[in-house]
Structure 1
Amino acid sequence: MGVQHIDVSATTTAPAAAVYALLRDGASWPGWSPLGSFELESPGEDGGESVGAVRVFRTGRTTSRERIVELVPDRRLSYVLLSGLAIKDYRADIDLTERPDGTTIRWHSSFRAKVPGMGGLYRRTLTKFIQQCADGLAQHAAARLTP
């Protein structure tokens, strides 16, 4: 079973700090993504949503559990999937690159399908979902700057 890769991006007029603040706040995700709800299952090493935190997102009948594995203030949030989808070894890195006119959001991930032959289907489905997340994050961050 081969490794599948997803790489999407979006741009926003918001500064990287504003985008990063939304990424760090799991409770904000249902407001700008297709996710239905958020719960902090366990805090991270430094409390709250720090490295090691386990976040639970529910959408319809799907519940995914994710652990934050890397945080670089205003530049990167990375997480791994612990359970919830028929994939394994899932890791996502959300990189923020600030530019004079805003921020580029690059959301890239890799995984393996648990079921042989299903990697392509999961990649196509997740690519669409993650693009919606990146676009929603970009739009929401920009809208928060507008009085």
Structure 2
Amino acid sequence: MSGRRRAYVVTQVSAATPSAVFDLLADGAGWSRWASPFISRSWWEREGTPPPGGVGAVRRAGRPPLIAREEIVEHVPARRHAYRIRSGLPVRDYLETVDLTPVDGGTEIVWQGNFVPLVPGTGAILAAVLKFFITRLARRLAGAAAAGSGTTPPTTA
């Protein structure tokens, strides 16, 4: 056994509609446009159903030399985007879900992840680092969706 399951939850509000937020999430090849500088490269390794970013799609994203391989496992337009990280991090059984809920003036984004660390004793620090990273991604996503451009000014990172 490598260690116990770890989890984190990040919540962010965007002035954009759930559809606008989801459109950015579902565009795996476009993550580098709104998630930069945290993700400088992104592309589809394999398309899913529906194409390109539906269930079964594999997205590659990251900043060299750390590029994750992520398989889309849920694709519910304007509601949920979920994926499993298949490689690129020292974890196993890693699931991330992004739930979108309409709220007055926009969308509540709840981005959560859970995993088992590969290296015993690293779970707490990995969870803290991943939560820090996802917090920044959620802010960038919220800003880019609200701007409607797929990009976010550097001041919102």
**Which TM-score bucket, shorter chain as reference?**
over 0.9
Alignment of 1:35-114 (within 5 A): 35-114=39-118
TM-score w.r.t. the length of structure 2 is 0.89
Identity over aligned pairs, percent:
37
1:32 aligns with 2:44: no
How much has 1:43 moved relative to structure 2?
Answer: 1.2
Q: Tell me the residue number matched to 2:153.
A: none
How much has 1:32 moved relative to structure 2?
Answer: 2.0
Partner of 2:31, secondary structure, is helix
Alignment of 1:6-17 (within 5 A): 6-17=8-19
Residue deviations 1:46-76 (CA, integer Å, cap 9, x gap): 3311100011113131011000000111000
Q: Which moved more, 1:63-72 or 1:29-38?
A: 29-38
Q: Which moved more, 1:64-73 or 1:39-48?
A: 39-48
Q: Aligned AA for 1:9? A: T
Q: Aligned AA for 1:6? A: Y
How much has 1:40 moved relative to structure 2?
Answer: 0.7
How much has 1:144 moved relative to structure 2?
Answer: 1.4
CA distance in 2, matches of 1:89, 1:81: 8
Contact 2:4 2:116 in 1 (8 A): yes
Q: Aligned AA for 1:123? A: A
Q: Tell me the residue number matched to 1:22.
A: 24
Q: Aligned AA for 1:56? A: R
The answer for unaligned runs of 5 or more in structure 1 is none
- How many positions carry a matched residue from both structures? 145
Runs of 4+ in structure 1 deviating by more than 6 angstroms, as ranges, are none
CA distance in 1, matches of 2:33, 2:47: 21
Contact 2:85 2:95 in 1 (8 A): yes
